[in-house]
Structure 1
Amino acid sequence: MSDKSLTSKVSQGISRRSFIAGTSSILGAMALAVNPTPVQAKPANTSSAPIDTGAHVPALVIGTGYGGSVAALRLAQAGVDVHMIEMGMAWDTPGPDGKIFCNTLSPDQRSYWLRTRTKAPLNYFLGFPIDRDIPKYTGILDAEEMGGIIVYQGRGVGGGSLVNGGMAVTPKRENFGAVLPSVNADEMYNVYYPRANAGLGVGLVDPDWFNTVDCYQFARVGRKHAQRSNFPFVFVPDVYDWDYMKQEAAGTATKSALDGEILYGNNHGKKSLQKTYLAAAKATGKVSISPLHKVTTVTPTTGGGYTVVIEQLNTTGDTIATKTVTADRVFFAAGSVGTSKLLVKLKATGALPNLNNEIGKGWGDNGNVMCGRANHLWDPTGKLQATIPCGGIDNWAAGGAFAEVAPLPTGIETYASFYLSITKNPNRAEFSWNAATGKAELNWQTAWKQPAIDMAKTIFDKINSKEGTIYRSDLFGTNKIWGDHLTYHPLGGAVLNKATDNYGRLHGHPGLYVIDGALIPGNTSVNPFVTITALAERNIEKIIATDL
C-alpha cells in the first residue's frame, strides 16, 4: 500500500472509530489532502537569507508551528508570497556529535531556550533533583515560568512539532461542541480533520508488533492494569514513522525513539512539520523563513497594511539587529502564549487600539496533570521504552479524564507506570499587561489544578485499589504525587468568535488574523495539535476565498 493511500485510510479510520486520545506529552524520564508530503521527505531548508529591513511582503506569518505552517502552505499554493518569522533556530545543522538534537538523558546547550539550568518536566528521581547546569543558548524547549504554571513550548522552525510526543488525535465527535461551539462539526469531520491528518502523515502502531516488542512492555502493563479495573485502553494515532520504529527495534536503523529522543527533538523517525507542511510550503518557491527573529510591534500603516518591527537574535538571546518591514496581511501563529502575549501588549500600548476586550482571555492548560504509580515486582515496565506513546486509558465520559500511558525512558528498570492526563478542568486564566514591568502576565494559580487532579484520581485511585499499588511520590519533588506545575498544551488567549470572528480575523484591524492554538478556549479533550491544524485548514480556506 502506498504512503498516500495508507495515510488516507488511517485518517478515515480515525474519524470512523472516533479514537479518543492522549496527548503529545513531552515525556519525561527526567518528561494534505492536497499532495501530502511523503513520510521520508527531507526537512524544510531554511537557509534562505533572513528578511531585510525595509522589505514589503504580501503575507507575514509570525511563527512556524501548526497553524502558521498550514497558513503558509495554503497561501503559497494560492500564489501569495509568504515570509515566516520564527523566534527559534532552524534546527537543520548537526552539532559536534553529528546529531541535530541532543538526547533526553544527556541534555546540553541545545536542550533549553535561554536557560542556564535544565527544567525537566519530571525533574526528580527517587526524591533527588536531576536538573543540571547548561550553557545559555537558544535551545529547542522553552520552560516558560508564568506565575503558577510552567508552560513547555517548542522553539525552532516547526514549533511544538519538534518537541511533542506526536500523538495525533481527532476528538470524539460528541465532545467537539464543547471544544469549538461556533464551528460546523460536519465540515470539520468530513473535510478538515481528514485534510489535517493527511497533511501531518498520521499513522497507527501495528497492534501485533506492539504486543510482542520489548520497547512497549510499559504500555502493555498499563493496558493490563486499565482493563483489570474496567477502563477502556485505546490505541491512539501518531506522526512517528512506524516502519522506521520497527527498524530501530530490529537493529537495522539508527535508534531515535528507542534512544530516548523526544523531549529535546527527535533525529530520525518523527514526522515533524519540517518534513510535512513546511517542506511542502518551501517546495512552492513562495515561502521564506527567518529563524532567530522576534516580532515586537505591529502597527497599521497609512493607506493600508501594517508596519512590523522585528528583532534579530543571536544564539545567546541578544538582539543584534532591529528591522522594520511592511506587510499587507499579518497572521499571528506564535502559539497560544506567544500570540496572546503579543496581542495583549499591542492593545495595551496603543499599537493596535481597536482590538476588543476579549484579547488575552479564555486561556487554559488542556487539563494537564501527571503522576506515577509504583508497580509490584511481577509487573516490570522494561529497561527499553520507546519515547512515542501509543495508547491511553479513557474515563472521559464518567470521570472527565483521559490518561496517556507514557514512557519513563531511564534506561533502567523502574517498575513504575507513568501517565499524563488530559482532563475537563474548567478553570481559565487571562493575560494582562503590566506597564511597570513592560510584560504580559498570566494570572493562572497552581490551586486551579485541583479539578484536574480529582479527575485523574477517578482512574488511578481505582487502579491502585485493584492492584494493591501506590502512587510514586519521588518524581516531582519530595513526597509530591502530582505533577500539577505545568502544561504541554497551552490553549486560548484569542478565542475564536470572541477576540476574532468565526474564521480568526481580529476585530478592529482588517488584514490581521490569528491562526493557531490561541483560538481554542482552553481544552480540546485530547492532544490539541490535530485540532489546531484542522481549524487552520478551515480558516485559511475561507480567508483565501473571501479576503484575497
Structure 2
Amino acid sequence: MNETARRRTSSTDISRRGFIAGTSSILALGALSHADRAAAAPVPAPIPHGAHVPVLVIGTGYGGSVAALRLAQAGVDVHMVEMGMAWDTPGSDGKIFASTRTPDVRSYWLRTRTKQPISNFLGFPIDKDVPRYTGILDAEDFSGITVYQGRGVGGGSLVNGGMAVTPLRQRFGAILPSVNVNEMYNVYYPRANAALGVNNIDPAWFDSTDCYQYARVGRKHAQRSGFSFVFVPNVYDFGYMEREAAGTATRSALNAEVLYGNNYGKKTLQKTYLAQAKATGRVAISPMHKVTSVAAASGGRYTVTIEQINTTGGTTATKTVTADRVFFAAGSVGTSKLLVKLKATGALPSLNGEIGKGWGDNGNVMCGRANHAWDPTGQLQSSMPTGGIDNWDAGGAFAEVAPLPTGIETFASFYLSITKNPNRAQFSWNAAAGRVDLNWQTAWKQPSIDAAKTIFDKINSTEGTIYRTDLFGTYKIWGDHLTYHPLGGAVLNKATDNYGRLHGYQGLYVIDGALIPGNTSVNPFVTITALAERNIEKIIDTDL
C-alpha cells in the first residue's frame, strides 16, 4: 500500500463497512489466527537483551492496553514494557494496595516524602516521610504544576476514581475536531464502555446508603442553587460496594482505597483489557522496564533501548531490542517527554515540529466548602465518586462531587472541577540539564478558578457557607497546583496523522492521552480508550 493510501483518513470508513463489519474485522482477524496460536508465542518477560518483537508497546495504560488486546486478537505477538511494578503481590498487611488514609512505602513513586493532593487538614500538614520505592502514584513536579500519574501495570486505571464519563455529544467537536462524531458515539464509545466494565449506581441505593451522604449533600446544594446534578457511571462494581455496605464483602471503596490503588471492587485494566490480552497467549508484559531510546534501524525496524530498574529506581540492566512497530502509550507526559527527547537528541530527527505541543491539565482545580452543622457529610464516605455538577455551557465547569474519606465527620464538601481552560503548555528539551521541561505557569490556572467560582460562589451565597482554607496550605482556597488529567503533547492530526501514526516514520504510533489536546470537558479515560479503539482498528485494517 502506498503512502498516500496509508495516510488516507476518510470519514466515511465506518459508513462504508457498517457497524457490524467494523466490529467484526477485529474478530475475524482473531479467528484467522486461532489455528496457529498454539505454535506462536511472544518473547517472554522480562524481555531479554537482543530480542526481536513484531510490536513493542511502551506503557500499559488505557491506550496501550487497547492496542495490545486488539493486535493480539488480530494474530500479532505483542510485548509491553512498563516502568512501574506488576502490583500482583500482597504486602505485609496481606493487601496489595495501601489505604488513602495510611500511605506507606507502596504509595509513592521514588519519593522520600508523600505529596498528597490535600496537603493539610484542620491546620496541620499531613505529609510524612516514606522510604524511597517504586510506589504506585507518581507526583511528578514541573514548573508551575504537579502531575499525578499511575505507575504500574494498568497505568492510570490503578489510581483514578473510576469516573467513566462519556462527554456530551454536542461537546465532542471541541475536543477532537478531526474525528468523526458518529463513529465515536455509534461504535467506539459503546465498545470502550463495554470493555471497561462501566456500570451505574442504583439511584435508590444512592439515596439511602450512609456512604453517599456526602454526595447527597452536594446534590442538594447544587440543585438549590439551580445547577444540574448528574449521576456519573464508574468502573467500580457497585454490586460489590453494596455488599461492602451490608458487611458481606471486604471493604475497599468503603475503606478509603482509591489514591494508592483499590484492592477489591474496582475494574482496573488488570481485570479488563489486560486480562483479555494476556489470555490470548500473544501478549507478554515486562514490568520495571523503562524505555530510554527509540531509533530507526535497518529493514524498517526500530532499535529500542530499555533500562531494567529495581525498587529504588536504580538501573540493573540495559537492554537493546528491535521491533517492527512501536506504540507510544506511556501516558500524555511519558509519551511527550520521550518523543521530545528523541527528536531533540537526533534519535528520531524527522518527527515534526508539533511534538511536545498542545499539553493541558483538563482544567483541573480543587476546592472545599465548610458546611453548616445541620449538613453533615458523614464519617463513612465511599472513595468512588458518582455524581457531578454540570455548569459547562453557562460557566465552563463540570465539578465532581468528590469524597473526603477521613473517617471522621468533617462537615465539608469537596470538589474536583474540570474546566474550560484554554491555556496550553509545551514540552521542550533542556540540553544543559539533560531533561524535558514543561513551561506551564501557575497563573494559567486562573481561568479554571474563575470557572469553578461560577458554581461555588453561588452555592456559598445560597447556603450561607464559606470556602475551606485548610486543605492546600495555610489560608489557601484553591487547589491550583496539580492535575490528575494530563492530556496532549503529541496531538492527533498534528504531531500524528488522524489515526495516531507519527509523521516522518512508518511503524511508529501514539495511542494514548498525548493525542488529545488538553481537555475533554469530563474525566478523560473513556475518551482515551474509545479513541484508541478507533485508531487501532484503522491501523490493523490498513497497516498490517
Q: TM-score, normalised by structure 2?
A: 0.92
Please state whether the residue corresponding to 2:208 is helix, strand or coil: coil
Task: Give the partner amino acid of 1:225.
Answer: H
- CA offset at residue 302 of structure 1? 1.5
CA distance in structure 1 between the partners assigned to 2:205 and 2:273 by the alignment: 29
CA distance in structure 2 between the partners assigned to 1:251 and 1:123 by the alignment: 32
Counterpart selection for 2:445 from 442, 449, 459: 449
What does the per-residue CA deviation read over 1:95-135, in whole Å, with 9 as the maximum and x for residues that have no partner? 11100001111111100000000000011001211000000
What does the per-residue CA deviation read over 1:294-341, in whole Å, with 9 as the maximum and x for residues that have no partner? 000000001211000000000000000000000000000000000000
What does the per-residue CA deviation read over 1:15-40, in whole Å, with 9 as the maximum and x for residues that have no partner? xxxxxxxxxxxxxxxxx9989xxxxx
Q: 2:526 maps to what in 1?
A: 530
Q: 1:50 maps to what in 2?
A: 46
Counterpart selection for 1:96 from 86, 92, 96: 92
CA distance in structure 2 between the partners assigned to 1:151 and 1:470 by the alignment: 28
In the TM superposition, 1:241-390 aligns within 5 A as 241-390=237-386
What does the per-residue CA deviation read over 1:145-183, in whole Å, with 9 as the maximum and x for residues that have no partner? 011000000000000000000000100001000000000
Structure 2 gap segments, 5+ residues each? 1-22, 28-41
CA distance in structure 2 between the partners assigned to 1:527 and 1:104 by the alignment: 20
Q: 1:6 maps to what in 2?
A: none
Q: 2:19 maps to what in 1?
A: none
In the TM superposition, 1:6-85 aligns within 5 A as 49-85=45-81
In the TM superposition, 1:144-223 aligns within 5 A as 144-223=140-219
Task: Give the partner amino acid of 1:325.
Answer: V
CA distance in structure 1 between the partners assigned to 2:300 and 2:177 by the alignment: 33
CA distance in structure 2 between the partners assigned to 1:446 and 1:128 by the alignment: 24
Please state whether the residue corresponding to 1:460 is helix, strand or coil: helix
Task: Give the partner amino acid of 1:63.
Answer: G
Please state whether the residue corresponding to 2:539 is helix, strand or coil: helix
Taking structure 1 as reference, are residues 229 and 47 closer, same or farther at Cα in structure 2, changes over 3 Å only? farther
Q: Does the 8 A contact of 2:50 with 2:320 survive in 1?
A: yes
Please state whether the residue corresponding to 2:380 is helix, strand or coil: coil
Q: Does the 8 A contact of 2:43 with 2:79 survive in 1?
A: no
Q: 1:122 maps to what in 2?
A: 118
CA distance in structure 1 between the partners assigned to 2:299 and 2:419 by the alignment: 47
What does the per-residue CA deviation read over 1:168-199, in whole Å, with 9 as the maximum and x for residues that have no partner? 01000010000000000000000000000000
What does the per-residue CA deviation read over 1:221-260, in whole Å, with 9 as the maximum and x for residues that have no partner? 0000000001010000000011100000000000000000
Paired residue total: 507
Task: Give the partner amino acid of 1:322.
Answer: T
CA distance in structure 1 between the partners assigned to 2:412 and 2:300 by the alignment: 59
Task: Give the partner amino acid of 1:516.
Answer: D
Please state whether the residue corresponding to 1:546 is helix, strand or coil: helix
Would you say 1:423 and 2:382 are equivalent positions? no
- CA offset at residue 47 of structure 1? 13
Task: Give the partner amino acid of 1:393.
Answer: I
Q: Does the 8 A contact of 2:43 with 2:53 survive in 1?
A: no
Please state whether the residue corresponding to 1:248 is helix, strand or coil: helix
Task: Give the partner amino acid of 1:217.
Answer: Q
CA distance in structure 1 between the partners assigned to 2:111 and 2:273 by the alignment: 30
CA distance in structure 2 between the partners assigned to 1:464 and 1:428 by the alignment: 31
- CA offset at residue 49 of structure 1? 2.9
Task: Give the partner amino acid of 2:374.
Answer: W
CA distance in structure 1 between the partners assigned to 2:157 and 2:402 by the alignment: 18
Taking structure 1 as reference, are residues 319 and 198 closer, same or farther at Cα in structure 2, changes over 3 Å only? same
Would you say 1:412 and 2:402 are equivalent positions? no
Q: 1:504 maps to what in 2?
A: 500
Task: Give the partner amino acid of 1:403.
Answer: A
Q: 1:10 maps to what in 2?
A: none
Would you say 1:468 and 2:464 are equivalent positions? yes
Task: Give the partner amino acid of 2:407.
Answer: G
Task: Give the partner amino acid of 2:139.
Answer: A
Structure 1 gap segments, 5+ residues each? 1-31, 36-45
- CA offset at residue 48 of structure 1? 5.7
Q: 1:28 maps to what in 2?
A: none
CA distance in structure 1 between the partners assigned to 2:401 and 2:96 by the alignment: 28
CA distance in structure 2 between the partners assigned to 1:462 and 1:426 by the alignment: 23
Counterpart selection for 2:398 from 398, 402, 406: 402
Q: 2:480 maps to what in 1?
A: 484
CA distance in structure 1 between the partners assigned to 2:122 and 2:144 by the alignment: 25
Q: 1:133 maps to what in 2?
A: 129
Task: Give the partner amino acid of 1:208.
Answer: A
Please state whether the residue corresponding to 2:53 is helix, strand or coil: strand
Taking structure 1 as reference, are residues 123 and 542 closer, same or farther at Cα in structure 2, changes over 3 Å only? same
Task: Give the partner amino acid of 1:360.
Answer: G
Taking structure 1 as reference, are residues 314 and 431 closer, same or farther at Cα in structure 2, changes over 3 Å only? same
Please state whether the residue corresponding to 2:98 is helix, strand or coil: coil
Task: Give the partner amino acid of 1:284.
Answer: T
Q: Pairwise CA RMSD of aligned residues?
A: 1.2
What does the per-residue CA deviation read over 1:43-75, in whole Å, with 9 as the maximum and x for residues that have no partner? xxx996300000000000000000000000000
Q: 1:19 maps to what in 2?
A: none
Taking structure 1 as reference, are residues 279 and 480 closer, same or farther at Cα in structure 2, changes over 3 Å only? same
What does the per-residue CA deviation read over 1:483-505, in whole Å, with 9 as the maximum and x for residues that have no partner? 00000000000000000000000
Q: 2:83 maps to what in 1?
A: 87
CA distance in structure 1 between the partners assigned to 2:98 and 2:410 by the alignment: 23
Please state whether the residue corresponding to 1:264 is helix, strand or coil: coil
Structure 1 residue runs of 4 or more that deviate by more than 6 Å after TM superposition: 32-35
Counterpart selection for 1:513 from 504, 509, 512: 509
Please state whether the residue corresponding to 1:116 is helix, strand or coil: coil
Task: Give the partner amino acid of 2:354.
Answer: E
What does the per-residue CA deviation read over 1:256-295, in whole Å, with 9 as the maximum and x for residues that have no partner? 0000000000000000000000000000000000000000
Q: 1:142 maps to what in 2?
A: 138
